[in-house]
Amino acid sequence: MTDFTGKKFGMISLGCDKNRVDSEKLLAEIAKRGGVITDDVSNAQVLVINTCAFLNASRKEAIETIIENAAYKEGNLEKLVVTGCLPQKFSSEIFENLTEADVILGTNDYGNFFDALEKSYGGERVDYVGKGGELPTDRLVTTPLHYAYLKIADGCDNRCTYCLIPKIRGRYQSVSEERLIGEAEKLGDIAELILVAQDVTRYGTDLYGKSALCGLLKKLTALPNIGSIRLLYCYPEAIDGELIAEIRDNQKIIKYLDIPLQHSEDGILKLMNRKGTRDSYLKLIGALRKTIPGIALRSTFIAGFPGESGRDFEGLCDFLKEAKLDNCGFFAYSREPGTAAYNLKGQISYSVKKSRVKQLYAVQREISRENLQRYTGKKIKVLCDGIDYDKNCFYGRAYFQAPDIDGKVYFNAPCAVQGKYYDIKIERCDSYDLYGSTEDYDQ
């Protein structure tokens, strides 16, 4: 039997923050078994690559990462383990063609990690996709210690025609409240806990017959170690009056919502199998702003979906100008085999899709700059995330900025501690970031 005590393990986690949480749980299990976690993958004896397969570009990145890191087998690397969405969806192809991988595991097989690895050290190539085996709630957090992600559900039941997630992750599966509370308590003192799922707003519908998100929020915010909670990936049609009131009244919930709308025009939304309309989206945005003054709203949109006419695209541009969202992400439609949209008529060329994404970003840049300019000359509360050595200053985030996907606040101060809040006087902005200093900073 292989002794893993002292063996060096490396981890490369690709894709979304839900993948990150899975990776963190596996890292904790590795540490329990006596493995040594190394940040330098060139020194790893066992390297785990947790993959994404959501888009063709994601799959390409994953495969390139696997092949590139397999070169370390000429040095210290003994075993290369490929986990996550790529083997979950394409297990036979991966096992047959990516012979660089010694072990492959799917999205729900991490509990069998060491069993599979043991067999690999016995001389086998191991395909454990579908074996199952849930990991405990312990995690080795890979974000800065003052914030962390909490994955409250996996899979999806929304069946958007462009999306592979139901075929990869399966049906919507909520994590029990008891397990989530236990996981959150074990994270220690967290300034910001970020709730993630493919659709956060559906939480509990499979377990309790109705959304239990508000109840979960009440219990999480009652924990003394949790400073605040941010909500990502809220399906627009499931944002109801109860949730809006909870966000408004619960002082620990950050007044910020990420609402992936994907498009604005009714015909395209119908082709996407999205339940909303342009009018319902604008009404929702209006209701949120009226009920929760100052709420920050973020969204994502797909450009170049099959059948998107020039008029549809102009309608989307006009929607952005009317909605004036704080932050947006834009993606060119990716034609994914196995999705309903793959066979739709009116497929659009890559060059047109790329051009439309570029135009959408140009529209949003002006909106974002206008939104940020209102903070110039004012003080805002900023959570310090660290030091930017290239800019020679500290950086952090205001309530309207989520990690990695939104902008930052760069600021000068005599001293600042990661994970602490500071009052920053904003001096200028660009279309993405804010710049300022503390009052006691001597310029």
Q: Which pLDDT belongs to residue 92?
A: 85
Structure tokens at 430: 């660009």
Q: Cβ distance 52 to 19 under 8 Å?
A: yes
Q: What is the pLDDT of residues 269-320, one digit of tens each?
A: 999 999 999 999 999 999 999 999 999 999 999 999 999 999 999 999 999 9
What pLDDT is recorded for position 91? 87
- Predicted TM-score (pTM) of the model is 0.95
Strand pairing partners for 153? 174
Dihedral sign for Cα atoms in the order 341, 347, 350, 356: negative
pLDDT digits (tens, 9 = 90+) for 356-368: 999 999 999 999 9
Q: Structure tokens of 51? A: 């993959």
Contact 160, 302 (CB under 8 A): no
CB 390 within 8 A of CB 417: no
Q: How far is Cα 245 from Cα 238, in angstroms, rounded to an integer?
A: 14
Would you state the pLDDT for residue 137?
83
What's the token pair of residue 29? 């299990």
Q: Which domains does the chain have, with CATH numbers?
A: 8-127 (3.40.50.12160), 147-371 (3.80.30.20), 379-437 (2.40.50.140)
pLDDT digits (tens, 9 = 90+) for 161-216: 999 999 889 999 999 999 999 999 999 999 999 999 999 999 999 999 999 999 99
Query: Which residues of the chain carry a pLDDT beneath 50?
Result: none
Q: What is the DSSP letter of 216?
A: H
pLDDT score at 442? 60
| Distance between CA atoms of residues 389 and 394, nearest Å | 8
Q: Return the beta strands (E) in 158-284 as ranges.
A: 173-174, 192-196, 229-231, 253-258
